Amino acid sequence: MATNRTFTMIKPDAFADGNSGAILKMIEEAGFKIKAMKTVRLTAEQAGKFYAVHKERPFYNDLCRYMSSGPIIAAILEKENAVADFRKLIGATNPANAEPGTIRKLFAKSIEANAIHGSDSDENAEIESRFFFSKLEEI
């Protein structure tokens, strides 16, 4: 996958609260192009696979429950320096530490229900995109 891409999910809390439109507007206004997007609901097992890297963390089971608690929006985004710029746009994992104006500062409820996901590397952006979208070559 091109390295000018990242992967995002609008998480169940933000989706349920009707914040998807406002969040997508911020993403587009920050210069990201939406290359692919869909609404899905993960099973707890699928959420567990997506977050397998956190398997040993104390919050893992809660995280899987939360991420499968309702629909999410999964999307592939394109922009120069996409991964780093998107992490900046979403803000710190814990909204208490997120910069003003970031998506998590505006919409996150807690360190767990933090509104949005952003890949942390080009490599993970590709792995995570393939988790949700097939035929990446055609996107």
Catalytic sites, residue numbers? 117
19 in contact with ligand IDP (CB under 6 A)? no
To the nearest 10°, the Cα dihedral for 58, 62, 63, 69?
180
Q: Could you say whether residue 117 binds ligand IDP (CB under 6 A)?
A: yes
**Min CB(137)–ligand IDP separation in Å:** 26
- Mask of contacts with ligand IDP, 76-115, x by CB under 6 A? -----------------x-----------------xx-x-
Distance CA 124, CA 6 (A): 9
Nearest alpha carbon to residue 76 among 13, 21, 2? 2
Residue 120 as a binder of ligand IDP (CB under 6 A): the answer is yes
CA–CA dist 27, 24 (Å, integer): 5
Query: At 108, is the secondary structure helix, strand, or coil?
Result: coil
∠ CA 76-77-83 to the nearest 5 degrees? 105
Q: Kindly tell me which residue out of 1, 23, 27, 63 binds ligand IDP, with binding defined by CB under 6 A.
A: 63
**Which one of ligand IDP, Mg ion, none is in contact with 55 (Cβ closer than 5 to 8 A by kind)?**
none
By CB under 6 A, name the binding residues for ligand IDP. 54, 59, 63, 93, 111-112, 114, 117, 120
